[in-house]
Structure 1
Amino acid sequence: MLEKTFDPKSVEPRLYAAWEASGGFAPIDDPNAETFAIVIPPPNVTGSLHIGHALNNTLQDVLIRFERMRGKAALWLPGTDHAGIATQMVVERQLAAEGNLSRRDLGRDDFVAKVWEWKAKSGGTIVNQLKRLGASCDWSRERFTLDEGLSAAVRKVFVTLYKEKLIYRDKRLVNWDPHFQTAISDLEVEQREVDGHFWHFAYPLEDGSGEIVVATTRPETMLGDTAVAVHPKDERYQHLIGRAVRLPIVNRPVPIIADDYADPEKGSGAVKITPAHDFNDFMVGKRNNLPMINVFDDFARINDEAPPEYRGLDRFAARKKVVEAFEALGLLRGVEKTRHMVPHGDRSGVVVEPYLTDQWYVNAEVLARPAIKAVEEGTTVFAPKAWEKTYFEWMRNIQPWCISRQLWWGHRIPAWFGPDGKIFVAEAEDGARAQAREHYGRDEPLRQDEDVLDTWFSSALWPFSTLGWPEKTEDLARFYPTHTLVTGFDIIFFWVARMMMQGLHFMDEVPFKRIFINALVRDAEGKKMSKSKGNVMDPLELVDDYGADALRFTLTAMSGQARDIKLSRERIEGYRNFGTKLWNATRFTQMNGAARAEGFDPATVKLPLNRWIVGETTRTAKAVTAALGTCGFDAAADSLYRFVWRQYCDWYVELAKPVLGKPDEPNPPPEGVDREARGGDARRASGDEAARDETRATAAWVLDVILKLLHPVMPFLTEELWGQTAGLGAPRAHRGFLMTAPWPDLPDSLIDPAADAVIGLIVETIAEGRSVRSELNVPNSARPPLMVVDATAAQEAVLRDAEPLIRQMLRVEGVEIVEAAPAGAIPYVVEGATLALPVAEFIDVAAERARLGKEVGNLAVDIDRTAKKLANADFVARAPEEVVEENRERLADAEAAKAKLEAALERLGAVV
């Protein structure tokens, strides 16, 4: 017999260890089986499980468990990313804490050895955390972006693209983190709104005939100005185009140029151009062949390009000194306070600089063309489809991809420099030396590039490098291309697009057939979670408190396409209660002797109650299968919830109780009632052993199907019930794990419309009657009769036959067939039949009318106020997205509540 309660803390680790030991996470060894492969978005080796990981990996696990049960060779390939800057930062902090050492104190080789030492001890914590969530990855195939196989793939790709002239060196602007002294990707840049100033500076015309005023938030960069730009159609400055100003402080002449970048409507209409320190200015400089003067060093200190008195100053100290100098020269024309966005390194927290350096680049425009075509033609599809627009927008406007990083931890760039700066690129140093020997005619000393590759470069190869490429492995042939990628919208460009480019270029096939973009998890009020707001929810803490299944079901149920998830503990607790409901229902069937009969065939059941639940089970199986097949995770969870809680637990179990009743507690039908004709045998046959046996077998069969359908979402609870209920079924039905049991494939022939009509009428009669009682505040102690006013003969017979059950579940005196409802009766319609509950003697009709009328009025005011707010275009445009969405939900809820109360008022209108 099942324990009274399910204990996740003891069950989950036991089951996961058993699953893993069984080898059931690996794809089946059947060459004829259809394959279904997912590669995990590799979490940082430094990472720990956050709520976004929990959502993303839950959805992947739901898919992989679903397809595994469908008999496919299902592979979920796991691994971690070396996470260059993040990992280097962790180890550098450790060194500083241990002995106030820097990586430079250790030297490159010793520092990298320290990082590997840390990785061996502490790296991969997130892997164990994923296991706590129930992730059924094939851990025997786990990869790491710096393992030898993947490193070989990275070197081959770099060399190949270099030979194809798709990788090259260039001097361009990058996002520069002065703390780490490295270029970083756009994804590692965090825009923060800060208080600042607009300083208005006058630049005197070189001939002394006047001045032109420019405004800037970054006075220190004026030391590197190489032009002033005005719009070519700005009449105020037509006479100045082509002339020059004398740059204050630096005393350098710079031209006044015409360029569309200058906006006549902003400020003075004239803008300073500093190509080496602003991305927009860089493009202006390229268009106009301007010099590019970098005035910063790697630490964002002023370098030797500036006048001597500024050299060595921190950029912000230089800012203050520049402003003071303009004021002293009488050239400061004004200062305005402003709030503006300033880029910061997401890990260092320092202001990021646009910085002109020599870096390695990929010609992403060429690689993007086939990747764009693949999505245009539907070879790879996005779900939701709307995300294709984001993908196309980025890909069609793609810029060269900077792939070099000034770090020590990562894939070192396989390029060597000769004494004259000549570059030799090869997969190994021997190859580079051979090239150099051929070039110089003799051996010359070579120096390997100090930089490492952008982490996204290696992770772009993930779908095929993890399967063994460049070797022609069995896994590569079998599982590439993969089927579905589940990831977040924020890395569509940084990772998804780059995997598409590299996969098509090196494998001639897309890396995945479908890209599912999961939602963002927000707090209960719809606000983005952040440590600063104090609203972060730790998934491991939630698993401790509610169990992994409750969290998984919550995330799955709320993961509707194109909407964010508002997560609250109350929601998770509610879905934990759902699991408890199923556990209790299973205990009930156990205690009542439910057992799956040898060779049980659901098509042969006779009782309408059993034919009905078999049909509902079939409908649910089809709905869940269709939903999971199209990544409709929320639809699958909703179907499961409604079926398990309402149809099985609330209705089937209750309606089956009289059938399962003990023989010495008979519940015979009324005299003259034909049970078989009226469908009452399912509720009257407590003395019928055959009916009892059929119901026990049906209950066991339905539970088996429920456990299978629910397993991908709630694997621990369902696996435990599967193992603990062997007595419910034949031994062969429970041999092995539920995880590898076959997925239900039920024929439409199991759906019985006649049984649906019988049970549907009983269920709706009780449910609608309960609504009437609830809406009108009819006391639980009240026992009015249920009156059948207008119904077919068959409906009358069903309701009369079900009288004991209706009497008990609807709290009525009995069922009466009447010609007309008496005064004080509340009518309601079910399946075309008019029924009535005479409740006037149990309630204060006038008081109820007043109460309902007041509530309707309050809701009308709320609806009007919220509707006006949403009709205000300014509010919708300016309010935070979560606030607008909250108001939309509030309006919909209020309108639904008002309609319900108005229906209750209308019913009261029948009471005279």
Structure 2
Amino acid sequence: MKAIELEKSYNPKDFEDRIYAEWVQTGCFKPASDKDSPVHECYLNKSKKSSVSKYTVVIPPPNVTGVLHMGHGLNNTLQDIVVRYHRMKGDDTLWIPGTDHAGIATQNVVEKQLKKEGKTRNDLGREKFLERTWKVKEDHHNTIVKQQRKLGNSVDWNRERFTMDEGLSKAVRNVFVTLYERGLIYKGHYLVNWCPRCGTALADDEVEHTDTDGFMYHIYYEFEDGSGKIEIATTRPETLLGDTAVAVNPEDERYKSVVGKKLKLPLTGRVISLIADSYVDKEFGTGMVKITPAHDPNDWEVGKRNNLEVINILNPDGTLNNNCPEKYRGLKCPEARKLIIEDLKELGLYKGEEKIKHSVGHCYRCSTVVEPYLSDQWFVKMKPLADKALAAWKNEEFVFYPRKWENTFTHWMENIRDWCISRQLWWGHRIPVWYCECGETIVSREDPVKCPKCGADASHLKQDPDVLDTWFSSWLWPFSTLGWPEKTSDLEHFYPTTAIVTAYDIIFFWVSRMIMAGLEFTGKSPFHDIYIHGLVRDKQGRKMSKSLGNGIDPLEIIDLYGADALKFTLSYMCAQGQDVLVDKDSFKMGSRFCNKVWNASRYILGNLEDRTLIPVADSDLNELDKWIYTCLDNAVKNARAAFESYRYNDGASAIYEYFWNDFCDWYVEATKLSFKNGDDHEKDRAVSVLLNVLEESLRLLHPYIPFVTEEIYSKLPLAQIVENRKKAGGQKILPCEEYTGLLVTAPYPEEKSSRINKEITERFETLKELIRTLRGLRVECGIDPASKLHIAVKISKGSSAEVIKEKTDMVCLLAGISKVDFVESNPEKSIGAVGKGFEAFLLVDESVNKEQLRQKFTRDIEYETENVRRSTNKLNGKFAEHAPAEVVQEERNRMEEAQRRIEKLNSYLKNL
């Protein structure tokens, strides 16, 4: 047959887009149970004989206004790898794509656009504003889809969902009304987290707390009767305008005599009481605390216990309102703080300030400082839902990978607070509540046409202006995407889903809530496997962000190296439970591996010239072939175990070591003997085995590097490989006759214990050790790689090293040896090294310049002696006393390694 040409250089731009389009066009990403799936006939045949497992994953929906960053790249890559594996494994596999409407973020994008035009949303009105927001959504959505296709996501695009599409909107309304009917949703006047910039309430877990430099301000409050003054300390002096008490601990002996007295509240003309409450820590500061119920969660609780007045001093935009003295009204908090301190100084009521570092809450979307704010909001009672989730966890209805995240999950669940679900936005799911002029509140799954109480028509009804928290739709994602609340075939077949793959920073936001929603509305956990991966950080361990300028665009990496290089690098570096530290150069590793796969395949396909592919039965395999099949099966075993336990880096390491080391560096190189010395039948046999191993290896590699393996696979003479396998009684490509010809739907290799030969493995490991030893001696002695060396080998009888006598030609080929002598004693004028069952000697004859070698060893000994001297001085000096223990140990290791090398070099000199 003719040689099959691959391009000389690996260039993913030549084929990645073309291959992805073919995958989508042929329906390869559809579950096998779909009638128009290319492997549907296989699914039917298999399901007749036994049940077919399913594997379902819903993608964590990216915000529709965003662009995919490297964190998305990691998350999408990990899902794609495991989805491709289960598809090839023969499971009925479905990966559902979609996007999230991202209420706050999307509205911010549109409002920024309007601000540049000198407008606000109020200038447009709600309807026009929403029309514009939908257009922005469409533009960004198209960008995200293009990026996901570039990454190679093998999602079923026919099932793509959006959190505000018709079906999901129906699910959201249904859930709100159902929870309301069950008494789990209520409205109340409560203190909430408020973002002045976004103009909306936030849930507790949407507030990011960061340590911030600030001040503790010390202020005096005078007693109304003129009997003196007290000292309080606060980080926010402006909030004193809303104080309604000062509290002390009831057990604090210092202040028992003043409890109940009145205090003049500075700058306000108001009088407040000095009360006793156990909340106050008498050991902290002066033991006196100002109480501002409307602007501090702890003070809110103190106020409720003591029936204190609640005075809100803020407008929704974060400025001071009309409850404050006129001179402060309309000022932002930092401006008001500065003016209030000046006024307190004039009154002699300001003692001073001290620098501190304290935790300050910021909006998770815009990083504005969050203010506690009193307002009417809708809440979900979370404890009943959390109790069900904890019970399901104890029953192992879902499992975390790694298990350490269970502690995070259970701690949050056991200490959960009610969830504020209303947002003061226009973009989002409108709260399905209407208020009639007669005072009736209507909560309905459908828009009401009249008031059930007074009979007034819809013109007398006003819908609640707020929308629901974005996460209120996202927590339904695993079942709403499958058609719930309708009883769809997808819901019946694919729910519960199998796994969720996400980063640890949204365990609270999303994972925990999905579990609660799934149990509450379907009676089942929405998934069994919860794989929590780390975050992508820069090489210094910093989170990637625009402000630091350390972000990496996945598309830039794909443009440089290809999607496979990105995918393989991220998976190889993704150790379970750890963050991934990368820079742009990190992805060269994945690119080199893809190049290795390409070049090895190109060499094998190029050797088909004038060769005839023949059936190769197990009895036709030589020892070298049996060894590589043992390596292949071990790699299959390790890769499958890694997939099943979500240990991506273990799987990547297993296939990397197998393909680069065992297959390319040893097997392919060793088979050159067959092409060099064998007759035509041996050459045909060798190339046939090579192709068989390559075909199976490509299937092994595919989930990690899908594009390059698919491109190479398409060049294989697959029909002939399949036919020859049938004749030889070997494995078919698929368990049925239907086959798409595409690697994406080919079966994942299975471990065949019958092919694993421990004795052969031991023999070849010894052979490899000898060759590595000889290569090391060549480097150690500085001998030209092109020089053919003369060696002697002494072998222990009955050991695995006996293989060396049988494979002398392989030793010569792979170690660059011209002659091998087998000896019983150590030869003179030689340099030796010991291995398992053998001693190898480099003979110093006319092929080696003895004097040049002596000079090199002498120079190396002098160099290493200086290293020992330097390390000894450091370890005996102040360095050992002051340096960290691990640094001292590293220095000690360096010294010991130098001493070992000196000993070895001296032995070489002696042998010379």
Instruction: Give the TM-score taking structure 2 as reference length.
Output: 0.90
Pair 1:414–1:629, CA change in 2 (3 A): same
User: Residue by residue, what CA displacement relative to the aligned partner does 1:780-802 show, whole Å, maximum 9, x if unpaired?
Assistant: 46665333234226756532443
Q: Aligned to 1:173, what secondary structure does the other structure show?
A: strand
Identity %: 43
Could you tell me which of 518, 524, 530 is aligned with 1:515? 530
Q: 1:641 aligned to 653, 656, 659, which one?
A: 656
- RMSD of equivalent CA atoms: 2.7
Q: Does 1:290 align with 2:302?
A: no
The residue aligned with 1:268 is 286
CA distance in 2, matches of 1:34, 1:191: 44
SS at structure 2 position matched to 1:74 = strand
CA shift for structure 1 position 803: 3.2
**2:336 maps to amino acid:** A
Residue 109 to residue 442, structure 1, CA distance change in 2 (3 Å): closer
1:620 aligns with 2:644: no
Residue in structure 1 matched with residue 763 of structure 2 by the alignment: 758
Whole-angstrom CA distance in 2 between matches of 1:25 and 1:699: 30
Distance in 2, Cα, partners of 1:862 & 1:273: 60
Answering whether residue 82 of structure 2 is matched by residue 63 of structure 1, we say yes
Partner of 2:747: 742
- Which shifted more, 466-475 or 835-844? 835-844
The structure 2 residue matched to 1:593, chosen from 608, 615, 633, is 608
1:477-506: CA deviation from partner (whole Å, max 9, x where unpaired): 111111110001111011001101100000
Q: Measure how far apart 1:453 and its partner are.
A: 0.2
Query: CA 1:242–1:854 in 2, change beyond 3 Å: closer, same or farther?
Result: farther
2:236 maps to a residue whose letter is: R
How far did 1:709 drift?
1.1
- Give the deviation of 1:44 after TM superposition: 0.7
Matches within 5 A, 1:162-311: 162-186=180-204, 188-311=206-329
Q: In 2, are the aligned partners of 1:227 and 1:272 still within 8 Å (CA)?
A: yes
Aligned positions of 1:103-114 closer than 5 A: 103-114=121-132
Q: Sort the Cα spacing of 1:364 and 1:656 in 2 relative to 1 into closer, same or farther, 3 A.
A: same
Aligned match of 1:802: 807
8 A Cα contact 1:549 1:717, kept in partner: yes
1:694 to 685, 688, 695: 685
Corresponding residue for residue 599 of structure 2: 584
Correspondence for 2:37:
none
Quick check: 1:799–1:815 contact (8 Å CA) kept in 2? Answer: no
Deviation at 1:16, TM superposition (A): 0.4
2:725 counterpart of 1:706: no
Give the structure 2 partner of residue 907 of structure 1. 904
Change (3 A) 1:383 1:152: same
Residues 352-751 of structure 1 correspond to what in structure 2 (within 5 A)?
352-430=370-448, 433=449, 436-437=451-452, 439-440=453-454, 445-593=460-608, 597=613, 600-601=616-617, 603-661=618-676, 686-726=677-717, 729-730=720-721, 733=733, 735-751=740-756
Q: Which runs of 5+ in 1 are unaligned?
A: 662-685, 873-887
Cα deviation, 1:703-734, whole Å, max 9, x if unaligned, reads: 11111111111010000000022269526658
Asked whether the 8 Å contact 1:144–1:150 carries over to 2, the reply is yes
8 Å contact kept, 2:670–2:813: no
Q: CA deviation at 1:122?
A: 3.7
How many residues are matched? Answer: 866
The residue correspondences of 1:83-94 to structure 2 (distance < 5 A) are 83-94=102-113
**C-alpha distance 613-324 of structure 1, shift in aligned 2 (>3 A):** same
Other structure's SS at 2:671 match: helix
In the alignment, is residue 852 of structure 1 matched against residue 864 of structure 2?
Answer: yes
Segment of structure 1 superposing worse, 14-23 or 332-341? 332-341
CA contact (8 A) 1:486 1:515 kept: yes
Are residues 196 and 610 of structure 1, via their aligned partners in 2, closer, same or farther at CA, if it must alter by over 3 Å? Answer: same
1:673 matched to which residue of 2?
Answer: none
2:91 paired with 1:72 = yes
Structure 1 CA distance for aligned equivalents of residues 173 and 893 of structure 2: 61
Give, as a single letter, the amino acid of the residue that structure 2 aligns with 1:400: D
Residue matched to 1:18: 22
Structure 1 residues 623 and 417: alpha-carbon distance in aligned structure 2, compared to 1, 3 A threshold:
same
2:60 is matched with which residue: 24, 41, 51?
A: 41
Distance 1:315 1:416 in 2: 35
Q: Residue 231 of structure 1: CA displacement?
A: 3.6
The residue identity in structure 2 corresponding to 1:60 is Q
Q: Is the 1:826–1:907 Cα contact (8 Å) retained in structure 2?
A: no
Three-state SS of the structure 2 residue aligned to 1:204 is strand
Q: Does the 8 Å CA contact 2:670/2:814 hold for their aligned counterparts?
A: no
1:421 positional shift: 4.0
Residues 788 and 836, structure 1, Cα contact 8 Å, conserved in 2: yes
Corresponding residue for residue 837 of structure 2:
832
Report the 3-state secondary structure (helix = DSSP H, G, I; strand = E; otherwise coil) of the residue aligned with 1:410: coil
Relative distance call for 1:26 and 1:181 in structure 2 (3 A) is: same
In 2, Cα distance between the equivalents of 1:265 and 1:772?
72
Residue 512 of structure 1: CA displacement?
0.6
1:332 corresponds to which letter in structure 2? Y
Aligned residues of 1:201 and 1:215 also touching (Cα < 8 A)? yes
Amino acid at match of 1:500: I
| Distance in structure 2 (CA, Å) of the matches to 1:257 and 1:771 | 82
- 2:20 counterpart SS class: helix
Structure 1 stretch 591-600 or stretch 59-68: which is displaced more? 591-600
- CA pair 894-718 structure 1, distance change in 2 beyond 3 A: farther
Q: Secondary structure at the match of 2:498?
A: strand
- Report the AA paired with residue 63 of structure 2: N
Deviates further, 747-756 or 649-658: 747-756
Partner SS for 2:67: coil
For 1:67-146, what aligned pairs fall within 5 Å after superposition?
67-97=86-116, 99-146=117-164
| Structure 2 unpaired stretches of 5+ | 34-42, 724-732, 734-738, 845-849
Q: CA deviation at 1:329?
A: 1.4
In structure 1, the residue corresponding to 2:114 is in which secondary structure?
helix
1:391-417 deviation per Cα after TM superposition (whole angstroms, max 9, x unaligned): 111111100100000000000000011
Letter in 2 for 1:640: I
Q: What does residue 675 of structure 1 align with? A: none
Contact between 1:776 and 1:848, CA under 8 Å: does it hold in 2? Answer: no
1:821–1:772 Cα change, 3 Å: same
Cα separation, partners in 2 of 1:27 and 1:481, compared to 1, 3 Å: same
Structure 2 SS opposite 1:334: strand
Deviations, residues 857-889 of structure 1 (Å, cap 9, x unaligned): 6678999999988968xxxxxxxxxxxxxxx7x
TM superposition shift of 1:136: 0.5
**Is the contact made by 2:438 and 2:454 (CA closer than 8 Å) also made in structure 1?**
no
d(CA) in 2 for partners of 1:364, 1:277: 24
- The answer to whether the 8 A contact 1:612-1:756 is kept is yes
Contact 1:463 1:482 in 2 (8 A): yes
- Is the contact between residue 596 and residue 730 of structure 1 (CA under 8 Å) also seen in structure 2? no
Task: Give the deviation of 1:273 after TM superposition.
Answer: 1.8
Alignment-derived partner of residue 39 in structure 2: none
Any idea what SS the aligned residue of 2:257 has? helix
Supply the distance in 1 between the matched residues of 2:155 and 2:283 (Cα, whole angstroms).
Answer: 57
Aligned mates of 1:340, 1:100 — CA distance in 2: 37
Counterpart secondary structure, 1:549: helix
Change (3 A) 1:389 1:777: farther
Structure 2: how far apart are the matches of 1:2 and 1:630?
36
